[in-house]
Amino acid sequence: MPNRITIISIVSQNNTNHTYTSNLLSNGAAPKDVQELLGHSDVSTTMNIYAHATREAKRTSARLLDKVVGDN
């Protein structure tokens, strides 16, 4: 059984990867580029895990569109 330090290290690495990837995607990085950086064999793996980052970007874009259209 892994010890407490090993578990904390694994969780910390997963959190770091998640933050890194979410920030890349939410700031406009191409999913294919992110997939390659992470070493995933398929872009669908990347997007299935980190899709929430692009969903938030879509919500932000939709709010912007509402603002633009509403001002006319």
H runs (alpha helix) in the chain: 4-26, 31-38, 43-70
**Parent domain of 27:** 4-70
For position 42, what pLDDT does the model report? 93
Q: What tens digit of pLDDT does each residue of 7-64 get? A: 566 657 777 778 888 888 888 889 999 999 989 999 998 888 887 767 777 788 888 8
Task: Give 2's contacts (C-beta < 8 A, 6+ positions apart).
Answer: 10
Number of domains composing the chain: 1
* 13 contacts 38 by C-beta, under 8 angstroms: no
What pTM was estimated for this model as a whole? 0.56
The CA-atom distances, in angstroms, between 67 and each of 27, 55, 63 are 20, 18, 6
Query: What type of residue is 60?
Result: T
